[in-house]
Amino acid sequence: MRNNSDESATFDAEDVEQFISTPEGLRAVLTVIDRLGPEGWQLPAVEVLMRVVARRYTPVARAWRRPPEDAAQAAWLAMRGRSARTAEDPWGVVTRAVELSMQAEAYGERLLISPEKARRPKHRPGETPVRAGEHEEFLYDVISAGGAEGAGDGIDRLVATIAAFLVVAGWNHHDARWAVEYVASRTADLGSQDSARDVLRRDGAIRLRLGLRQRDWTRLLGLLIGSRVGAAPAGQLGVLERVLLGDTLADLLTDAELMDLARRIRPEARDG
């Protein structure tokens, strides 16, 4: 004979999971937890909530080669904040927080600084440390996460943000987006900044299609990918990495030196 109470509990858990998976459901559960205070996190629904969190964000953690537990912790911290309860899309707020946390941890480890410092460019060191024998990994860590929820949207935002920056600097919109998409894709394929820089610098067909002189094409690669460790400026992060780390279009536009470089190397500019 079946235990009807067990069947009911299982059905209820599945029902709660479906409810929590919606924006309205997550908002309602987080609101109840907030009203109850610390005891709210002891509710049976919280166990179901964390199962949903684990399923959603384990792929994001793996994309950045972080433990799934780190993603769950980042989601839990985000869900405790007011913005997750009041946002139109609570899951969107949590997802963005997890993405930024995983990015900051990955880049903090790479740059040998804390994740908090890795989030903002003003706190990053001028030179990127490199461990002995380390083969630098770059955009392919993100682009290869094609199966992760929202990964495609993330790459679209990356390209759109940098293309918009170039357009403000005077670039033609089509040229700007095409150049960013091409360099990001080739960098992901090649697997490291140095490989991408060396191969793309010799890519004469693409340079000519954009109408750039060799010097300006090399400068564009430096702007997008960053400079080689030991070069001047030493180990400077490219805008592809900066946006992956959380920089916004406003952050890029307020960087006067970056804006000046983007203006000087645009295809129409021929004044030196």
Q: Is position 211 within any domain?
A: yes
Cα(155)–Cα(241) distance, integer angstroms: 12
Looking at 59, 82, 102, the residue that finishes a domain is 102
Domain of 54, in residue numbers: 4-102
- Find how far residue 105's CA is from the centre of its chain: 11
Q: Is position 231 within any domain?
A: yes
Looking at 61, 87, 102, the residue that finishes a domain is 102
* Count of structural domains, the chain: 2
Q: What is the dihedral of CA 269, 257, 109, 186, to 10 degrees?
A: 0
Q: In the chain, count H helices and then E strands.
A: 16, 0
Cα(228)–Cα(245) distance, integer angstroms: 19
Q: Is position 115 within any domain?
A: no
Q: Is position 121 within any domain?
A: no
180 and 254: one domain?
A: yes
Cα(220)–Cα(216) distance, integer angstroms: 6
Q: Is position 117 within any domain?
A: no
170 and 70: one domain?
A: no
Cα(150)–Cα(271) distance, integer angstroms: 42
191 and 93: one domain?
A: no
How confident is the prediction along the chain (272 residues), in pLDDT tens digits per residue? 344 444 444 447 788 899 999 999 999 999 999 999 989 999 999 999 999 999 999 888 887 778 999 999 999 999 998 889 988 899 988 988 888 888 778 767 766 566 666 565 555 544 444 443 333 344 444 444 443 444 445 567 788 889 889 988 899 888 998 899 888 888 877 766 777 888 899 988 888 988 999 999 999 999 998 876 544 444 467 898 888 777 888 888 888 899 999 999 998 755 44
96 and 191: one domain?
A: no
Shortest CA distance to 241 belongs to which of 196, 202, 178, 271? Answer: 196
Q: Is position 190 within any domain?
A: yes
Q: Is position 108 within any domain?
A: no
134 and 260: one domain?
A: yes
Looking at 84, 102, 120, the residue that finishes a domain is 102
237 and 155: one domain?
A: yes
46 and 145: one domain?
A: no
Q: Are the CB atoms for 72 and 50 separated by under 8 Å?
A: yes
Shortest CA distance to 71 belongs to which of 86, 89, 52? Answer: 52
Contact residues for 178 (Cβ-Cβ < 8 A; gap 6+) = 210
98 and 138: one domain?
A: no
13 and 53: one domain?
A: yes
136 and 260: one domain?
A: yes
Which amino acid, one-letter code, is at 10? Answer: T
Cα(7)–Cα(261) distance, integer angstroms: 65
96 and 215: one domain?
A: no
68 and 177: one domain?
A: no
Q: Is position 42 within any domain?
A: yes
